[in-house]
Each structure stands twice: as C-alpha cells, then as structure tokens.
Amino acid sequence: MLIFEKSSPGRTGYSLPELDVPDIPLADMMPGDMIDQEGKHLPEVSELEVIRHYTKLSQKNFSVDTHFYPLGSCTMKYNPKINEEVAALPGFTDLHPYQSEGSIQGALELLYSLEQFFCELTGMDRFTLQPAAGAHGELTALLMAKAYFNHKKEKRSIILVPDSAHGTNPASAAMVGFTVVQVKSNEKGNVDLADLERLLTPDVACLMMTNPNTLGLFEVDILRISSMVHEKGSLLYYDGANLNATLGKVRPGDMGFDMMHINPHKTFSTPHGGGGPGAGPVGARGELVKFLPTPLVNHDESKKLYSLHFDEPLSIGRMKAFYGNFLVLVKAFAYIISLGKEGLLDVAHLSVLNANYLMKALSKSFHLPYDRTCMHEFVLSIRDWKDKGIRALDVAKRLLDYGFHAPTVYFPLIVEEAVMVEPTETESKETLDDFVQALICIREEILNEPEVVHDAPHKMPVKRLDDVVAARKPVLHWESEEL
C-alpha cells in the first residue's frame, strides 16, 4: 500500500508554532488568480503511520548492513558509522552556502584538507569537489578537455573508450558533443595496442579508461598507452571507479593520467543511499588545472585563512550551484583520517586478496574468461548453461534466496553472460566462503533442478518482477481514484 492510500482527511503528522505576525488575507498580498484555493492533495496521515509505513518499507530492502553485496564496479564496502555521526553535526548541516567566509572557515578547511589528501593519493595537482556524482565528474573533465583544445585552437572531435567501458563514459562524451569510438580489448582482457595505434589520429581529444579495467585486470601496458596518447597530443582520462584496487599503491598521475574523477561512494566508503547522493571530485594536472570549475578552495598560509577562489579566466565555469555535495565529502574526509596512511595502504592489498581468493575458489565450478591474477574484482561467465535455459540473470536472482545480493550482471558487455564480482576489503573470509558455498549449491541446482533457478527468487518479498509490462504500460505515479 502506498502512503497516499493510508490518508484520512483531517489527520496530521506535524506541528508548528502559532503564527506570531498579523494574519493578513492571501488576496491582500498576491493576485487572486495566482492562489491555489483548493490546495495540493498531499496525504493526511499521523506520525505513527508515517514511521510504520517507511520502517516496514526499509525491511524489504537488502543493504550492506544486512547483506554481502559483491557488486563488481560498485565497491560496496562497509559504511562506517562515525562518518554518519560527524556529517550530522549542526556545525556542518546548518551552514548556508552564502554565509560570510569568516563564518565558514571550518568547512573550507575540511574541503581544502580533503583536496590535499586526494592529490596525495592520486598524483593530481588540484581537485574540484563540485561535481555531484562520478558521471557528473566525467562530464566536467570532458568539458575541460574541450575547452583545453579550443584554447590551443585544435579541432578534436573524438573520444576513445575501451569496449569494456562503463556506460557513463560514452554517454558523458556524447553530452559534450564528441563522437565516441571504441577500442578493442585483446584476448588477455587488456586494451589492444594495435587497435589503439590505428585509432589514435590527431582528431582524438582523449582516451577514457580505468586501471584496473572493468574486467578487474591491470592494464600492464599503461605506460606505453600513456606515451602513445600523449605523442599525438591527446589527453588520458582515468575513471576512478576502480581506484580501490590500487589506492595509494599506484597513483593515476604516475601512470600518465592527465585528469580523473573519484567516486567517494565507492572508494571512500560514503553510503550508496539507494542511488545517491554520491560525489564526483575531478582532479587535473599541469596545463589542465586552469580549466577546472570554480570556485576552488585556497589557503593563505600567512593569514591562516581559507577562501573561495573564483578568479580563473580559463575555467569552464560552474557544474552545480554552490560547492558540491558537502556532507558526502565530510564522510570521505572522516574515512581518510580514520584509516590514515596504514589503513589506506591496506585497502588495495586486502581488496585484491579477497577478490583473488574468491576467484580461485569459484574457478573450479564456473567459467573464467580471463585466467590471470585479478585485482579487486573479476568476471565469470554463466554461458555454459544456456542449454538448460539458465542465464546470468537467473543465477543473480537465485543468490537472493541464499541471502546474498547478486553481483553485477551483463557488464562489461564484452563477456557473454557476465557476472562481475567485487568483494571489497571489509568482508571476512567466512563471508566469502559462505558465498562460494551458495554458488556451488546453485550450480548443483542448475544441473539437477534448473526450474528452481529459472524461477528464482522464491523467498523475497516479491517474486520475479515483470519488466516488460512495466515498460509497455508505464505507471509512474499514484493517481487518486477521486479524480
């Protein structure tokens, strides 16, 4: 039942102080024909009904706090609770973005420190913390690339992306008006250098990639790729989604990347929220720094003052009103200072250990398209059971019955019936072993009673949902029967 269906005229769930100024009629303050006499038909429910309604809804969800989420490319690591607590401090939540600079020194210091940490971890020179999500960060960097080449009076209209790239890469490029061309992957799962050589014309603005790539494999030729790209005067962009694998150990700047984005809601433990809010800080090196969106946060050592810096004539402008998803950034800051140097170094080591452990444990029962050491994630293929009518999607749904959120399925596109697994470093060996056991059981089911897998899930609040009917006859909001 929807909250609207629980409404009863006259019920209220709020309170306000009495009006303490004259009760002037609305028509004395505004034109009568602008007044909505009837009012909006919002529901009328009590606080208890609201609490009960949404609490029960929450109980229908899987979440990191209740379930293992081995989602490749998402880095569903544990979200520390101290982060939630500090992000709720009134000294942060109650700040208006237009308060005087003298009254926001703590906030500016936090943003400045966070930027310093990001630069140290990635080898970039400066970061903008303004973008609201990874895709927003990609868009920012591509707008910067466009501005950079315009400034140099060079016409470059192509963006190269590997065929294994995340969908936001080509989508972002298209939004800026670039043409997207795909670079093939070789049989080892890396960027095909011959294909890259062929495609690297003077018309290429940028190669967008991630390292490790979306197959969880390190691009071993990265230094060669970097020189190939830079020789042609193009730029190299790092999609930060897989930063967890090499955090602090190998810096994108040292691999030759010119610009990058970070996903704090992946690498830096800020919660996914069911689909945001995240953030998409963008880092740049050398020449590109002056194209970053404004404002940046600057620090005057002598006066010990932090300030918002707007005066950058070559800046692309502004990507969002105000300064960024500040409270999300507070959580990333808390995470970094909490882990510190030792803890941050552990992230890469243990996320890669967990992934390799899982991969080897599963390799006996499932097809591994790339048989080499993986980094923080790996890809399986479920193509072997097509004759039984079983696809990756069915395995994903059956895993729900075993109490695990499914891994990422059907991505990257270059693997048939792909299942991408990323355990992250915060999961224990016991959890990984349980996950392996569940998959082995499912494999048995596929061989002996495939309908159980085909018709899964069986134990969730709903059974398999019908996507087709949802798209054919879209019902996208509640409508009152009274109308």
Contacts of other proteins in 158-187 (CB under 8 A):
167-168, 170-177, 180
CB count in 10 Å sphere of residue 279:
28
Site for other proteins in 387-426 (CB under 8 A): 396-397, 400, 405-406, 411, 425-426
**Which residue of 216, 324, 412, 423 would you call a contact of other proteins, by CB under 8 A?**
324
Window of 52-60, 198-206, 377-385, 446-454 that interacts with other proteins by CB under 8 A: 52-60
Return phi, psi of residue 210, to 5°.
-130, 155
212, 375 Cβ separation under 8 angstroms? yes
Nearer to other proteins, 321 or 387 (CB): 321
Site for other proteins in 177-236 (CB under 8 A): 177, 180, 217-218, 220, 222-223
CB count in 10 Å sphere of residue 291:
24
By CB under 8 A, tell whether 148 contacts other proteins.
no
**Which residue of 203, 233, 305, 357 would you call a contact of other proteins, by CB under 8 A?**
357
CA-nearest of 361, 376, 387 to 454 is 387
CA 450, 451, 455, 457 torsion-angle sign: negative
By CB under 8 A, tell whether 112 contacts other proteins.
no
Window of 99-107, 193-201, 384-392, 437-445 that interacts with other proteins by CB under 8 A: 99-107
By CB under 8 A, tell whether 79 contacts other proteins.
yes
CB count in 10 Å sphere of residue 7:
16
**Which residue of 99, 227, 363, 365 would you call a contact of other proteins, by CB under 8 A?**
99
Nearer to other proteins, 194 or 476 (CB): 476
Residues 6 or more apart from 106 whose CB is under 8 A from it?
91
**Which residue of 186, 198, 230, 322 would you call a contact of other proteins, by CB under 8 A?**
322
By CB under 8 A, tell whether 63 contacts other proteins.
yes
**Which residue of 183, 206, 352, 390 would you call a contact of other proteins, by CB under 8 A?**
352
Residues 6 or more apart from 171 whose CB is under 8 A from it?
135
CA-nearest of 271, 297, 241 to 126 is 297
CA distance 375 to 218: 7
Window of 137-145, 191-199, 362-370, 381-389 that interacts with other proteins by CB under 8 A: 137-145
Residue 340: burial class (beta carbons within 10 Å; 0-12, 13-18, 19+)? exposed
By CB under 8 A, tell whether 462 contacts other proteins.
yes
Number of residues that bind other proteins (CB under 8 A): 200
**Which residue of 80, 240, 283, 423 would you call a contact of other proteins, by CB under 8 A?**
80
Window of 34-42, 197-205, 415-423, 439-447 that interacts with other proteins by CB under 8 A: 34-42
**Which residue of 68, 117, 257, 291 would you call a contact of other proteins, by CB under 8 A?**
117
CA 358, 362, 364, 366 torsion-angle sign: negative
**Which residue of 338, 383, 402, 436 would you call a contact of other proteins, by CB under 8 A?**
338
C-alpha count within 13 angstroms, C-beta hemisphere, residue 256: 22
Site for other proteins in 259-318 (CB under 8 A): 265, 269, 271-279, 293, 316-318
CA distance 415 to 379: 8
